Amino acid sequence: MKKVSVIGAGIGGLVSAILLSRKGYDVTLFEKNGNTGGKMNQVYLDNFRFDIGPSLITMPFVFEDFFKEIGRRMEDYVTFRKLEINCRYFYTDGTVFNSYNEKNKFRKEIEEVFGKETLNGFDKYFSYAEKLYKLSAESFLFNPFTIKNFFNLQGIINAGKFLSKKSLHKLHEDFIPDKKFIQFLDRFATYNGSNPFSAPSLFAIIPYVEIEFGGYFIENGIYKLAESLEKICNEENIRLRKNSTFLGIVKEDKNIKSIKIRNSDKEEEIIEQDFIVANFTNDISLTGSKYLGNRNWSMSGFIVLLSVKKTFPELAHHNIIFSDDYGKEFTELSREKKPAEDMTVYISISSKSSLSDAPENCENWFILVNVPNLLDFNEWNYDFTESYKEKIISKIESTGLKIRDSIINSKVITPSDLSEMYGTEYGSLYGLSSDSLNLMMKRPANKSANYKNLFFACGSSHPGGGVPLCFLSAKIVSKLIEKQK
Ligand SMILES: Cc1cc2nc3c(=O)[nH]c(=O)nc-3n(C[C@H](O)[C@H](O)[C@H](O)COP(=O)(O)OP(=O)(O)OC[C@H]3O[C@@H](n4cnc5c(N)ncnc54)[C@H](O)[C@@H]3O)c2cc1C
């Protein structure tokens, strides 16, 4: 039986371990933290529960396929629930837009809020994005990112109207007359930590995927998915070694002979195996200094958790309070490399759908704001952190949502905390920036270029960040290992 060491029990690590175990490999999974799930994580403040990573899941078919592949019924582990309103958007001029999950309702809302011309523009844009998705999904999402696939993709993009050089924002301007609806579409670039004003127009597949396949919440919290994956690891007799940190490799030519682990007793161990799957790309011994020497990393996040002794019927489960000027916000984030003065604020209140997440007549607010990664901005001392939290609360209150006096308890998670918790490169949420196809080529491929028996299954490798793509990353890796024999 061939042995596999999977290092990192984030989503890509857990899913790789399960898929490889099902294929007959002898799998050990090492995780530096005391819990699994990586960025899919949860925190309690008194009797309030918060998902502090992913809060909205797309591409449900990816999860259905996974459970089918491992011979289990998804409903025995997790229940995906489509919310009526995917997200409620608040603009500074008082406009409120509900992004409904049901397509006809969504189109009707566009017409009512932004007018007929914008709806017509959206319909044309959506057919364009659909074509882009259908043409690129096979070579980009479901298979390794090889040179051949890259040139297929370039070919597709360069063919006729698929212009790769155009930014996502510019593409939206080509189709949509209303600035506020453009801001709605632009925001999807932030789903992988990108700037819509420089991200490639190829990313029109992100809004397409959410609008076409819907946005989902998981009953009893998103973290239930990580718990279920850990449960399956146990059912599959995968050796799960928590509090075990990867320290380095022992190499033999183009192979990694063994890995060094500091185990839960703080002792160093040497582990031999045939294949290694890394669920992170932050280690120079695995990815090399050239990769980590890059300057362009995706954005980080500033998180505020609030336990609130009041309910806000004007808010949905997912909400966005937009900045007044998206262009200015991204200039501050990307060029001036500082947190934005007038920031876009995301508020997710899972207790609206999962009643046990907060006591009666209370709410659990998970607030997320995009901020630069630590290479670009690293001044998260106590005073700055507190003042930025206050600015965010003032921004929320400026929309008429009087929250300040109803806060029971709060907790802040900064980019420095994220870097320490998950070991991400410079606190970036999605690894190397995806702001151009060239940068995307610089991500570590699923199969290492340096070592024959090393593979990467994670959001900072291919096909990219986000929970469904991490499942796909693991699936690609499990197939590559099987092929290698
Ligand atoms: C605040 C936030 C909000 C998000 N929102 C969404 C969302 O709404 N929808 C969505 O789909 N996605 C979202 N994402 C992205 C999504 O969470 C990630 O893309 C995905 O969970 C990353 O999984 P991964 O497989 O790359 O592993 P990671 O989560 O990066 O986990 C890597 C694991 O490796 C471990 N590790 C690191 N170094 C070592 C070492 N030396 N030894 C041993 N173990 C090590 C870490 O502790 C960690 O457990 C969000 C992320 C964040 C942080």
pLDDT tens digits along 287-330: 999 999 998 999 999 999 999 999 999 999 999 999 999 999 99
Give the Å distance between the CA of 427 and the centre of ligand 1.
11
In a shared domain, residues 262 and 303:
no
Residue located nearest, by CA, to atom 15 of ligand 1? 466
In a shared domain, residues 303 and 407:
yes
- Regarding an ipTM greater than 0.95, the answer is yes
Strand-strand pairing, 85-90 and 318-321: parallel
Mean pLDDT, the chain, integer? 94
Indicate which CATH number applies to the domain containing 454: 3.50.50.60
Closest atom of ligand 1 to 467 CA is 11
Q: How many domains does the chain have?
A: 3
In a shared domain, residues 273 and 305:
no
Categorize the per-residue pLDDT at 165 as very low, low, confident or very high, splitting at 50, 70 and 90.
Answer: confident
In a domain, 233, yes or no: no
In a shared domain, residues 395 and 322:
yes
In a shared domain, residues 171 and 134:
yes
Mean per-residue pLDDT, 202-213: 94
Q: Is 157 a residue whose pLDDT tops 60?
A: no
In a domain, 100, yes or no: no
> What are φ and ψ of residue 287, in 5° steps?
-100, -20
Cα(143)–Cα(394) distance, rounded to whole angstroms?
A: 45
In a shared domain, residues 111 and 209:
yes
Give the Å distance between the CA of 300 and the centre of ligand 1.
12
Mean per-residue pLDDT, 54-58: 97
Closest atom of ligand 1 to 30 CA is 43
In a domain, 314, yes or no: yes
Categorize the per-residue pLDDT at 160 as very low, low, confident or very high, splitting at 50, 70 and 90.
Answer: very low
- Structural domain span for residue 409: 299-422
In a domain, 375, yes or no: yes
Q: Is 14 a residue whose pLDDT tops 70?
A: yes
- Check if 11 has its Cβ closer than 6 Å to any atom of ligand 1: yes
Last residue of a domain, one of 166, 193, 213: 213
In a shared domain, residues 310 and 395:
yes
- Check if 261 has its Cβ closer than 6 Å to any atom of ligand 1: no
Distances (CA, A) of 432 to 22, 194, 281, 436, 466: 31, 10, 10, 10, 14
Closest atom of ligand 1 to 58 CA is 11
What are the structure tokens assigned to 60, written together?
Answer: 């449900």
pLDDT tens-place string over residues 427-450? 999 999 988 777 777 889 999 999
Give the Å distance between the CA of 94 and the centre of ligand 1.
35
- Check if 458 has its Cβ closer than 6 Å to any atom of ligand 1: yes
In a shared domain, residues 322 and 390:
yes
Give the torsion sign (CA, 198, 199, 204, 210).
Answer: negative
In a shared domain, residues 279 and 327:
no
In a domain, 42, yes or no: no
Predicted local confidence at residue 227, as pLDDT? 98
Closest atom of ligand 1 to 245 CA is 42
143 SS3 class: coil
Give the Å distance between the CA of 41 and the centre of ligand 1.
9
Question: What is the identity of the amino acid at 309?
Answer: K
In a shared domain, residues 182 and 133:
yes
In a shared domain, residues 343 and 400:
yes
pLDDT tens-place string over residues 256-269? 999 999 999 999 99
Give the Å distance between the CA of 123 and the centre of ligand 1.
34
Radius of gyration of the chain (CA): 22
